[in-house]
Chains A and B, each alone.
Chain A
Amino acid sequence: MREDSSFCKFCEGKRRSFHFHGIRKGGRTLPLSCAFFLKMRRKYLLRIRKKGGLACPFFFEERKKERPAKIAGIAKEFRGLGGKALRMMSGTRIAGRFLDGIQDAVPIAIGYIPIALTYGFIAKSTGLSLGECLLMSLFVYAGASQYMALDMIGKHIGSLEIIFTTFIVNIRHFLMSASLNEKVEKDHPLKKAIYAFGVTDETFSVAAVKNEKLTTLYMYGLNVLAYFSWCLFSAVGFIIGSNIPGVFQDGMSIALYAMFIGLLVPSMKKSGKVLFLAGSAAFLNSFFQFYRIVSPGWSIVIATLAASVFVEYVFWLKRKRGKVRNG
């Protein structure tokens, strides 16, 4: 688009004022700002905004049909002035900034406090040094497997077995990472590998229920605060040990579950499919764990996969039947 001169190539250079065009691509409509617009100065932009924006009528028509969040997601694909203006005009916030990530990580950071404190305390009573306790939080950064490892160290179980069990417990991250991959922007694999380290149940949940496409910077922001909270409070837990007030422990133990509920309910209110998904996965997971059919690590993976596939199949059948009826 940029290589063009100061003429709009979509209207063959007829219009010199600010406008957008929509083009259809794979079932969705992409607004395209013209080359002319991309070259415009800020001064010019402001003047146009004052006038209420002389956008191509086709674009506005399409815009009404699409959800604002979707527009913002599309707008993000445009870099520079064009993208900025599009975002400004669509009037939606996009999850693009580092600070947005930090902000969204606050509930996670709070939720990690009791778990990390308890972890630090147990590490101390298991016989780990402060350095080892902190090193595990820094390197492994996975609550459930760290607890499990401490338990196994306490029972003098061999390292290889602990590592293998850790792998089993964390296999669900594979599923999360694959799902997250559909939502994040394309970037260098090395940059993605860095934030992939921060994928936990909690950071994944926060990121995955966002409506927008996620930028790498957002993911960094989200992970930095959560990671910091986890590591800091692991060490604090080790140092203050059993002096954690009981009432505080009781109250805080709900934090992460409350966060999961707070993330799930808004989508559940909007869509029956979400209710169906969460309900069936919750039922399956409870069933597996109650009857001890599989270990808790596998239980979550199997319940999630089974629910996701089953619900999608039901909706697929429904759509197919709907099509037959309409056709």
Chain B
Amino acid sequence: MDSGYVLLIIGMGLVTFLPRAIPLTVLQGIKFPPFLQEVLKNVPYAILGALIFPGIFFIDGENVLLGIIGALGAFALAFSGANVIVVVIGSIILLSAVSALI
């Protein structure tokens, strides 16, 4: 193994680990003001929105058609009350079928 790459990987690992670990270990027992607590509780839903859009449209590079079909399929499945794993597998099947047809 190239020692330059190993050093790079260790450095990357460190700067990735620190933001993950610091809040969970340091903030324990600290009580935030209620408004901030609520904001932190909002984060998961906001981040889900930001993770889905606009990324989902570009799963097939610049061709957004596949992304739109996938998004509609996944939302339809999820709104019908399907379990997460059913939504995932259903969307994979749908998109495989569509991309085989196109």
Chain A residues near B (Cβ < 8 Å): 106-107, 110-111, 128-129, 131-132, 135-136, 139-142, 145, 149, 153, 159, 162-164, 166-167, 170-182, 184, 186, 189, 192-193, 195-197, 199, 201, 204-206, 208-209, 247-248, 250-255, 257-269, 273-274, 277-286, 289-290, 299-300, 303-305, 307-309, 311-312, 315-316
Closest chain A residue to B78, Cβ basis: A265
Closest chain A residue to B13, Cβ basis: A139
- If A266-B78, A279-B49 touch, whether A111 touches B27 (CB-CB below 8 Å) is no
Contact A251 B12 (CB under 8 A): no
Contact A254 B92 (CB under 8 A): yes
- Interface 1/0 per residue, B19-31 and A, CB below 8 Å: 1111111111100
Report the count of interface residues on B (CB-CB < 8 A).
75
Q: List the B side residues contacting A255 at CB < 8 Å.
A: 88, 91-92
Contact A196 B42 (CB under 8 A): no
Q: What CA separation (Å) do A303 and B50 show in the bound complex? A: 7
Closest chain A residue to B100, Cβ basis: A247
Contact B48 A193 (CB under 8 A): no
Contact A174 B22 (CB under 8 A): yes
Contact residues of B: prevailing secondary structure: helix
The number of inter-chain residue pairs (CB within 8 angstroms) is 289
Chain B residues near A (Cβ < 8 Å): 1-2, 4-13, 15-17, 19-29, 35, 37-56, 59-60, 66, 70-71, 74-75, 77-79, 81-93, 95-97, 99-100
Contact partner of B48 (CB less than 8 A), chosen from A140, A250, A263, A286, is: A263
Contact partner of B15 (CB less than 8 A), chosen from A132, A163, A274, A277, is: A163
Between A and B, 6 residue pairs with Cβ closer than 8 Å are: A110-B85, A140-B12, A201-B51, A209-B48, A258-B70, A264-B45
Contact A140 B13 (CB under 8 A): yes
Closest chain A residue to B11, Cβ basis: A163
Contact A136 B27 (CB under 8 A): no
Contact A309 B39 (CB under 8 A): yes
